[in-house]
Amino acid sequence: MSSEKVIEKRSMQTKNKILVATVSAVVIVGVALGIYFGVRNSDNNDSSNKSNTSTAPDPVPTNAPVPTSAPEPPPGINGTMINGTLFPYYTLTGEAPAPVGIDGKVYTNCVTPNTFSISFDDGPSQWTHELLDLLEAEQLKVTFFVNGDNQDCIYKPEVQSILKRAFESGHQIASHTWSHPELTTLSVEGITTEMTRLEQAFKDILGIVPRYMRPPFGDGTFGNGNANDLKVQNTLKGLGYVITTWDIATGDADIDDNKTPHKLSDEELMSKEQLEVTSTVEPAPDGAPHMQLMHDTYMRTIRLMAPWSIKYIKARGYKMVPVATCLGDEDPRTWYKLIGPPAATTPTTCTK
């Protein structure tokens, strides 16, 4: 091979090496630039996302509680706000009507045709929860004439609990005096104390003061023009009370000794008590109203007589209602002289 051809071949090899090196360098630089800008863009995106996350408000949960100005009623119980507190069970609208029951007047029977009231005196007692279960199952409302310190102390926590349940279930709460005395034997001041001391307990526990009362034994309602009866009635009128008694008394307080074993068998007791009901209802015209008295302090009244009475009264087509309702006070706001919040704390004993 001539020297010229050797030189030309070497020159061509050198050019090829330079070209390969140049192309490799370009590729390396391109890859490097791609990596550089890719990383930078990634960093910018991360930075942007972080910035957005830090400045955007947190999402509001869809189940966030909505503030309300009034407390929610208990589950399954409606209510109406009155004087800043929940009046339970009843949903009421508009202004309260004027009361129908007359202060100081003695009502011995219902006045609305085809109504029948059942009421329970002297409680609450250990049996009242069982009675409330029965009334709830039957979807009925009754009247409880309550004492302050008779069968039990109204301030005892377990008694307060029963009383609150009765009130919150929509039953009428009425007064039966503090200690169950014969009112005709007391002075005006004594009668007043019996009523106002129980009023304070009702305010403490329930936030209400009843308009309706029943004198223990019906005392103070029997004598036409009797001075002692007039003393009782005029004193109660001055205190703003409607006075109610009954036209049917089952006699449970007189013939059930409330002990085991009982002097009368269940059959004997029920026969006597049922006769007190049927002998008054059945001779009367159909739909004639009645006001029946029982006591929620007797086990057999709750387990035997009350269920029988409900079945009997329903079978005769009566509408069973609280005492106030059968006297024309259908709006439960008219059952009470005061409706407001109960006390923040209450005593737990009746000892002064």
Query: Any idea which residue has 């009367």 for tokens?
Result: 284
SS3 265: coil
Ordered DSSP codes for 7-34:
HHHHHHHHHHHHHHHHHHHHHHHHHHHH
Tell me the two tokens of residue 99. 């009361």
- Sequence-separated (6 or more) residues with CB below 8 Å from residue 333: 82, 87, 92, 96, 339
Query: What 3-state DSSP class applies to 346?
Result: coil
Helix (H, G, I), strand (E, B) or coil at 237: helix
| Annotated active-site residue in 219, 295, 296, 329 | 295
Tokens 């019906």 belong to which residue? 218
∠ CA 83-85-87, nearest 5°, is: 100
Active site residue 121: yes
CB of 258 closer than 8 Å to CB of 299: yes
Rg of the chain, C-alpha, whole Å: 41
| Distance of alpha carbon 206 from alpha carbon 173, whole angstroms | 10
Can you state the angle between helices 266-281 and 306-315, rounded to 10 degrees?
30
Catalytic residue among 121, 122, 229, 296: 121
252 is catalytic: no
Helix (H, G, I), strand (E, B) or coil at 93: coil
Active site residues: 121, 295
